A and B are shown apart, each in its own frame.
Chain A
Amino acid sequence: ETGVTQSPTHLIKTRGQQVTLRCSSQSGHNTVSWYQQALGQGPQFIFQYYREEENGRGNFPPRFSGLQFPNYSSELNVNALELDDSALYLCASSVQGGNSPLHFGNGTRLTVT
């Protein structure tokens, strides 16, 4: 069973730039969620994708966008980067349904300077 993989592991960008983070879901999982985790805090829900459509979104501005592909892999795109976007970005896959636990990747550490 292949787990959730994320790339890259680390990334440094300049304020105003754009970034794309990638995630491969665990096999058999049809739902992918993205979370932002600032240093010393709990993860915050960005959005969730199911059947290639966004089906839920947290309190994040439109410059955070995503895609889910037919093979259930996913991308997170962030435009016009701000210093406060510096965080660990976590991807999690699951089977659609309220009692299905999330399986997380090890995250991408994004630093915005």
Chain B
Amino acid sequence: SQQGEEDPQALSIQEGENATMNCSYKTSINNLQWYRQNSGRGLVHLILIRSNEREKHSGRLRVTLDTSKKSSSLLITASRAADTASYFCATDPYNAGNMLTFGGGTRLMVKP
């Protein structure tokens, strides 16, 4: 079963626009992570936000975390065609050492 659910399931934007993806989860967490997956390939870690953090930045990425609402968002600013990929949020609901539960993902298409 999926711990997290991403919203929207699919997103299509023009190059230069911002893309926002949301993630909701069900149990208490130690941290929340975002990963990216290009078609048919492995996942690449983007950013990790700890439960005591509210916002984190990495380059064009901005992640927020609201533990009271059990939700997170990933913002990609000034998107590029190369950002086209699936994006997944992941949590470790057992706090057992990175045994992650992933959401179903948001499929982002950035049109040139």
In the complex the two chains form, is A107's CB within 8 Å of B42's CB?
yes
A70 within 8 A of B: no
Interface residues of B in 42-98 (CB under 8 A from A): 42-45, 48, 50, 88, 92, 94-98
Tell me the A residues contacting B by CB distance below 8 Å: 4, 31, 33, 35, 41-45, 48, 50, 55-56, 58-59, 88, 90, 92, 94, 96-107, 109
A47, closest chain B residue (CB): B99
Interface size of B by Cβ–Cβ distance < 8 Å?
28
A97, closest chain B residue (CB): B97
In the complex the two chains form, is B99's CB within 8 Å of A104's CB?
no
> Can you name 17 A-B pairs with beta carbons within 8 Å?
A33-B98, A33-B100, A35-B102, A45-B99, A48-B97, A90-B42, A96-B97, A97-B98, A98-B31, A98-B95, A98-B98, A99-B30, A99-B31, A101-B33, A101-B98, A105-B42, A107-B41
In the complex the two chains form, is B45's CB within 8 Å of A42's CB?
no
B47 to chain A, nearest CB (A): 9
In the complex the two chains form, is A44's CB within 8 Å of B102's CB?
yes
In the complex the two chains form, is B40's CB within 8 Å of A48's CB?
no
In the complex the two chains form, is A42's CB within 8 Å of B104's CB?
yes
In the complex the two chains form, is A42's CB within 8 Å of B98's CB?
no
Q: A42-B88, A56-B97, A56-B99 are in contact. Are A109 and B40 (CB under 8 A)?
A: yes
B4, closest chain A residue (CB): A42
B90 to chain A, nearest CB (A): 8
Residues from chain A with Cβ under 8 Å of B40 in the complex: 88, 107, 109
B23 to chain A, nearest CB (A): 11
Assembled-state Cα–Cα distance A99/B96 (Å): 10
A109, closest chain B residue (CB): B40
B43 to chain A, nearest CB (A): 5
A4, closest chain B residue (CB): B42
In the complex the two chains form, is B44's CB within 8 Å of A104's CB?
yes
Q: A31-B97, A90-B43 are in contact. Are A43 and B33 (CB under 8 A)?
A: no
Residues from chain B with Cβ under 8 Å of A45 in the complex: 99-101
